[in-house]
Amino acid sequence: MSDTAEKTARSAKNSTVMHVLARAGFVVSGILHIIIGFIAIAIATGGGGGQEADQSGALAQVAQAPGGLFLLWAAVVGLAALGVWLLLSAFIDRSWETKGKRSVHIVENLAKGIAYLALAFTAYIFAIGGTTSSAQSTSQLGTTLLSTPGGVFVVVLIGLVLLGVGGYMIYKGVTRRFERDIRIPAPPAGNAVRILGVVGYVARGVALGAVGVLFLVGAATNDPSKTTGLDGALKSFVSLPFGAVVLVAIGVGWIIYGIYAFFRARLARL
């Protein structure tokens, strides 16, 4: 990256406008996590009404709420800004170089930045009056891959990556590594933030790990119906012994992470 380009990118990343919009992105993320958590609980208790327990299901709920159109466009802007900020941070943040963790920092921020941009695009689809289903799109991807020579290895790779990401989230929560991302306030507020972070990250990790397991099962059985993403993974708990109880716990955990995201919006190191 040339000096001029890097200077421009750094200026954009550190601008007040970018920081405000990125923090708004964390708020949007929190809202979506809370909605997904409530949908998961509804499914566990016999409700749900066919709702998808994932980001597209949450955005569909936002679209139906009073002022939903305004909220969706706010989500598009906030999520896109957070995604761009993470991409810029991946390459121009030099604070990790002395710790020998530069490559990890780049990969992690790139992955999160792309994920937030993808979520912003999903919100955009709903904002312009369209609809989309993350579960159907993921299932179609699984069908395409499993019907393609060698595609089963890609499905296995996706499953292993998701399992790894889920495991890392659990590790990040248990070891409280998320504290590196935020400025922990003084007790008792700081203690509350820590508890929210630990529970929230573990719940997210369990859910994403379950998605990875289903991808691996889909590859082993050549069954694309298993590759339905977060929605399918959460709903799969219902058929397990005590699965409804586990799903309620995961739903509560996602709600807790959503609350943590509100704190992160204020406390994030940007």
Query: Looking at residue 222, what is its pLDDT?
Result: 87
pTM for this entry: 0.89
- Counting beta carbons within 10 angstroms of the beta carbon of residue 97, is it exposed (0 to 12), middle (13 to 18) or buried (19 or more)? exposed
Decide if 211 contacts 166 (C-beta within 8 A): yes
Query: Looking at residue 8, what is its pLDDT?
Result: 77
* H or E segment and range at residue 223: none
**In the chain, which stretches have pLDDT less than 70?**
1-3, 5, 48-49, 93-101
Q: Within 10 Å of residue 150's Cβ, how many Cβ atoms? A: 7
Query: Looking at residue 223, what is its pLDDT?
Result: 87
Query: Looking at residue 93, what is its pLDDT?
Result: 67
Rounded Cα–Cα distance for residues 53 and 56 (Å): 8
Which pLDDT tens digit goes with each residue over 214-251?
Answer: 999 999 998 888 888 888 888 888 888 888 999 999 99
Q: Within 10 Å of residue 38's Cβ, how many Cβ atoms? A: 21
Rounded Cα–Cα distance for residues 189 and 260 (Å): 12
Query: Looking at residue 52, what is its pLDDT?
Result: 83
- 182 phi, psi to nearest 5 deg: -135, 165
* Contact partners, residue 198, CB within 8 Å, separation at least 6: 173, 174, 176
- Counting beta carbons within 10 angstroms of the beta carbon of residue 213, is it exposed (0 to 12), middle (13 to 18) or buried (19 or more)? middle
**Scanning the structure block, which residue is given the tokens 């993974």?**
233
Query: Looking at residue 192, what is its pLDDT?
Result: 94
Query: Looking at residue 2, what is its pLDDT?
Result: 61
